[in-house]
Amino acid sequence: MFASQQVADVIEVKPELDAMGVSLAAIGSGTPDQARAFTEKFNYPGEMYVNPSLSVYKAFGLKRGFLKTLGPASVARGIKAMFRGHRQGSSAGDLWQQGGMFVLGPGEQLVFAHRNPGAGKQADLKAVLAAAAGP
């Protein structure tokens, strides 16, 4: 449910990203077919890539682990997400891998980094937009 919540959040700010000329790309941990099904189910409007080996997740320093996914804080956020209408669907990809959000480029620039400390611990989208709009 957290992935769908994450996508629902970025879909909301896609028009603002478009207006700034900033692209939206996502990387998932499943197969291309699973990523395509997810994209179609949630009408995700950005580019989608997959990294089943998790090598890129690891290079970006993203966390992975059982307690990151099912610890008490993550469960509490899961209940909150359910009240917002996000339901856990069939899962595909690595269950224990956490996500994150970065603003990069053009060239060798990293202007925003958020590594989810646990499931459902998403980036502040206002901060993402501010970074995307910056130099």
Partner 1 sequence: MTNQITKAIVVLRACGLLFLTTCSIKGGGTMQSNAYEAIHSKIAGLTVNDLEDHAVAVDGLWQDRRVVLVFLRHYG
Residues 3-22 that bind partner 1 (CB under 8 A): 3-4, 6-7, 10, 17, 20-22
DSSP character at residue 64: B
Full DSSP string of 98-124: --EEEEE-SSS-EEEEEE-SSTT----
Per CB under 8 A, the list member of 8, 45, 48, 70 interacting with partner 1 is: 48
Q: Does 82 bind partner 1 (CB under 8 A)?
A: no
Q: Does 128 bind partner 1 (CB under 8 A)?
A: yes
- Residue 95 CB, nearest approach to partner 1 (Å): 5
| In the block, residue with structure tokens 């610890």 | 71
- Judged by beta carbon, residue 43 or residue 55, the one nearer partner 1 is 55
Residue 88 CA: distances (Å) to CA of 30, 105, 131: 16, 33, 31
Residue 7: enclosing H or E segment and its boundaries?
helix 2-20
Per CB under 8 A, the list member of 19, 43, 61, 83 interacting with partner 1 is: 61
Give the pair of three-digit tokens for residue 84: 């917002």
Per CB under 8 A, the list member of 12, 25, 65, 85 interacting with partner 1 is: 25
Q: Does 72 bind partner 1 (CB under 8 A)?
A: yes
